[in-house]
Amino acid sequence: MMVGITESVLVVGELVIDYTLGRNGVMCKLRLGGVAHAARGLWAAGVEYAVAVFCPQYLVEEAQQYLREIGCREFIWIGDVMGAPNVIVIDDVKEIGHQGYEDLMRERKVLKLREPLPSLNAYLKVVVFSGRFDLQFLALALSEDARVSFDVAYDLDDLSLLASFRDRLQAVIISTSSSLFMRLGHEDVGGLLAEVRALSPEVLLLKENRGGSRLFDMRDESVQQIPASLGRTMNSVGVGDVYSSVMVAYSQKGWREAAWRGSQAATVYAQSTFPDDIKRDLQRNLRLSLKTVQALGGTSLSWHERQSYAIYLAGPDFSYVAKPELDQAVESLSYHNFRVRRPILENGELERPATEGALRLTYHLDYQLLKDCDVVFAVPLDRDPGTLVEIGMAIAMGKKVVTYDPRCENENTMVMVGCSVYSADLDTCLNGTFRVIADLGRENP
Amino acid sequence: MGSSGSGRFSDYPGTKAKEVVGEGTGVEGGTSGIDKCTQAFHVLLEDVGNSQLYSRSGSVPSPKTQLGILFDGQRVFAVDLNGVKVGALPTAYNYLVACMDSGVNYLGIVSFSAALPVPTVEADFVPQ
């Protein structure tokens, strides 16, 4: 190895403060965020790393101290953040729906490179988390021999901005939660693949949240599906960053194994916010052979496949009913790209009182829709009799039923046992929906 | 009115969890003090009707029967003292594979069972 060159992974991006609001049963949490999530993941995986970061001056000393505690070999302050505190307020830590990130004072935020720019020449393996900074400086600042991977989840609207890295690009990593994915790949992954192919990276990783991820090897056009291990999510903030950084760190073992190891790290990171717990659990998991990890499997349901299955929404979806939990469930399912069929919206809300003819017509239309759908998601608020009948009919038809009972009003043998999933927790029901639909896909490929 | 809030990062490694007094603060610490591998658990087994034991004998183990845990390279199973599979553990318990690989073993006791109309087994497990 050349003098001055290190095997450490260099993580480039912004440091922020994450503040999780304490509500909905979640305790508030103050953590160093941004690329600190990737740093925790690498530390927990036992990987040597350094960071090159943009952060506000007031945060530099505290961040340095914190990152030193989690094994950071070198802290390189490459740019200041001015006009904003770089504080993100987080509403939904489980990504049941939109996470409700609030980047305080974001419109006033300006990133300014330090002069002279500190040297990044010593690092040959680099993972960059895009942010509101100009990427061109990196092309000049990094060693010509550096191999660079980009996680473009945030603040990058145009993939051609990566063109200056074409000869040394290893991985492009994107998430279905990002606006860039929504623009390029929401309907069809082909558009995204075409744009990425033009950059000639080795691989594209598409992270698909609870549905797992897909690794597209751009060298041989193969695709590897990496399933998600769906457990109880404690905090999903930064989970994607952990996946990306650990995958890049493991790339010398081949991208397939690297992606599985990244996925393992992400799973562990989602289940705790205590770093020592994360490290202990990840070390245990990484000791398992790749064969074992693959055999244990998990849930694979790609973003695009989800639209192939119709979910019948059983619930009092009436305009005159207070139903915030039902609305949240629909928002959540739609956020995850599920195709929700809402009988009351589609077939119309009956006038009160309704004529017998109108009742019959609506019954038959709803019944037909129930038959046509693949899965039922039920929200039996107020023990709505129509919803309970629909649950029973669906069970008798052999359909999988996921029942979300947020007010715990239907703890009844037939409901709890007859349904594939029964819970008062939307996170659990969402995981259950992913599982039952993924199972349908396996049974009827 | 005074102010309250989070005074510092709440997750330095090497410290035990403690709840911080005051609104807007939460829990801080590097470790929660909880290790899932050393937690006892109660489980309803899956696929009991297709298991080795039921297929061979048409019966399920009676309450208080001792069980162990086995990973057969594909899935995690509850087994009787002869190593015969009684039923599978739900995939939520796949974490046990890493625990067992780290040297934790589990001993179980059947807490409920029924052969008809659908073979059913529930069990309690404790780490050894």
Strands (E), A184-240: 203-207, 213-217, 222-226
Say which of B26, B73, B75 has its CB closest to residue A27: B26
* Probe site for chain B from A296, A425, A439 (most B CB atoms < 10 A): A296
Backbone angles phi, psi at A224, to 5 degrees: -115, 125
Indicate left, alpha or beta for A421 from its phi (over 0: left) and psi (-120 to 50: alpha).
Answer: beta
Whole-prediction pTM:
0.92
pLDDT computed for residue A2 by the predictor: 45
| CA B47/CA A309 separation, integer angstroms | 26
| CA A236/CA A250 separation, integer angstroms | 22
The answer to whether the Cβ–Cβ distance between A274 and B73 falls below 8 Å is: no
The answer to whether the Cβ–Cβ distance between B101 and A295 falls below 8 Å is: no
| CA A205/CA A246 separation, integer angstroms | 13
Do A345 and A291 belong to one domain? no
Higher pLDDT, residue A10 or B34: A10
Say which of A29, A281, A297 has its CB closest to residue B26: A29
User: Which of B:50-89 have CB within 8 Å of A?
Assistant: 71, 73-75
Tokens of A9: 């992974």
- Asked if A29 is an interface residue toward chain B (Cβ–Cβ < 8 A), one would say yes
Nearest chain A Cα distance for residue B37, angstroms: 9
Task: Please identify, in words, the CATH class of the domain defined by B36-127.
Answer: alpha beta
Q: What's the CATH code of the domain at A240? A: 3.40.1190.20
Polymer length of chain A? 445
Do A266 and A357 belong to one domain? no
The answer to whether the Cβ–Cβ distance between B12 and A69 falls below 8 Å is: yes
Indicate left, alpha or beta for A419 from its phi (over 0: left) and psi (-120 to 50: alpha).
Answer: beta
Of all residues in chain B, the percent with pLDDT exceeding 70 is 85
Do A280 and A402 belong to one domain? no
Alpha helices by DSSP H, A220-378:
239-249, 255-270, 275-286, 290-296, 324-335, 343-347, 356-372
Domain limits for position A127: 6-296
Q: Is A148 helix (H, G, I), strand (E, B) or coil?
A: strand
* Amino acid present at A428: T
Residue A198, number of CB atoms within 10 A of its CB: 13
- Asked if A85 is an interface residue toward chain B (Cβ–Cβ < 8 A), one would say no
Does the N-terminal peptide bond of residue B117 adopt cis geometry, omega within 30 degrees of 0?
yes
Does the N-terminal peptide bond of residue A116 adopt cis geometry, omega within 30 degrees of 0?
yes
Do A83 and A109 belong to one domain? yes
Domain ranges of chain B: 1-34, 36-127
Higher pLDDT, residue B31 or A67: A67
The answer to whether the Cβ–Cβ distance between B91 and A277 falls below 8 Å is: no
Please report residues of B whose CB lies closer than 8 A to that of A29: 10-11, 26-27
Please report residues of B whose CB lies closer than 8 A to that of A30: 6, 8-10, 26
Q: What's the CATH code of the domain at A362? A: 3.40.50.450
| CA B52/CA B69 separation, integer angstroms | 14
Say which of A28, A285, A287 has its CB closest to residue B26: A28
Nearest chain A Cα distance for residue B11, angstroms: 6
The answer to whether the Cβ–Cβ distance between B95 and A231 falls below 8 Å is: yes
User: In the listed set A245, A267, A296, which residue is the last one of a domain according to the structure?
Assistant: A296
Do A337 and A277 belong to one domain? no
Do A234 and A317 belong to one domain? no
The answer to whether the Cβ–Cβ distance between B9 and A30 falls below 8 Å is: yes
Tokens of A163: 């063109």
Q: Which of A229, A168, A162, A230 shows the shortest CA–CA distance to A196?
A: A162
- Asked if A58 is an interface residue toward chain B (Cβ–Cβ < 8 A), one would say no
Do A99 and A236 belong to one domain? yes
| CA A314/CA A326 separation, integer angstroms | 10
Backbone angles phi, psi at B104, to 5 degrees: -90, 130
| CA B113/CA B18 separation, integer angstroms | 41
**Taking a C-beta distance cutoff of 8 angstroms, is the pair A256, A215 a contact?**
yes
User: In the listed set A242, A261, A296, which residue is the last one of a domain according to the structure?
Assistant: A296
pLDDT computed for residue A4 by the predictor: 60
pLDDT computed for residue A131 by the predictor: 87
Do A265 and A365 belong to one domain? no
Please report residues of A whose CB lies closer than 8 A to that of B9: 30-32, 62, 66
Do A227 and A322 belong to one domain? no
| CA A244/CA A175 separation, integer angstroms | 10
The answer to whether the Cβ–Cβ distance between A287 and B98 falls below 8 Å is: yes
User: In the listed set A296, A314, A339, which residue is the last one of a domain according to the structure?
Assistant: A296
Alpha helices by DSSP H, A142-249:
179-184, 189-197, 239-249
Number of domains into which chain A is organized: 2
* Probe site for chain A from B8, B11, B31, B93 (most A CB atoms < 10 A): B11
Nearest chain B Cα distance for residue A403, angstroms: 19
Q: Could you tell me the sign of the dihedral formed by the alpha carbons of A233, A238, A240, A244, in that order?
A: negative
Please report residues of B whose CB lies closer than 8 A to that of A31: 9-11
Do A93 and A154 belong to one domain? yes
The answer to whether the Cβ–Cβ distance between B35 and A280 falls below 8 Å is: yes
- Asked if B11 is an interface residue toward chain A (Cβ–Cβ < 8 A), one would say yes
| CA A148/CA A12 separation, integer angstroms | 10
- Asked if A287 is an interface residue toward chain B (Cβ–Cβ < 8 A), one would say yes
Residue A1 belongs to some domain of the structure: no
Backbone angles phi, psi at A226, to 5 degrees: -110, 115
Residue B1 pLDDT exceeds 70: no
> What is the residue-level pLDDT of chain A in tens, covering all 445 positions?
444 666 899 999 999 999 888 766 667 778 899 999 999 999 999 999 999 999 999 999 999 999 999 999 999 999 999 999 999 988 776 666 666 678 888 888 999 999 888 989 999 999 999 988 888 888 889 999 999 999 998 888 899 999 999 889 999 999 999 999 999 999 999 999 999 999 999 999 999 999 999 999 999 999 999 999 988 778 888 999 999 999 999 999 999 999 999 999 999 999 998 999 999 999 999 999 999 999 999 999 999 999 999 999 999 999 999 999 999 999 999 999 999 999 999 999 888 888 999 999 999 999 999 999 999 999 999 999 999 999 999 999 999 999 999 999 999 999 999 999 999 999 999 999 999 999 998 887 7
Would you place residue B100 in the very low, low, confident or very high pLDDT band (cuts 50, 70, 90)?
very high
Tokens of A6: 């290190």
Please report residues of A whose CB lies closer than 8 A to that of B94: 229, 296
Nearest chain B Cα distance for residue A226, angstroms: 16
Say which of B11, B30, B97 has its CB closest to residue A288: B97
Please report residues of A whose CB lies closer than 8 A to that of B90: none
Number of A/B CB contacts below 8 angstroms equals: 85
The answer to whether the Cβ–Cβ distance between A292 and B73 falls below 8 Å is: yes
What's the ipTM?
Answer: 0.89
Do A194 and A165 belong to one domain? yes
Residue A173 belongs to some domain of the structure: yes
Do A131 and A84 belong to one domain? yes
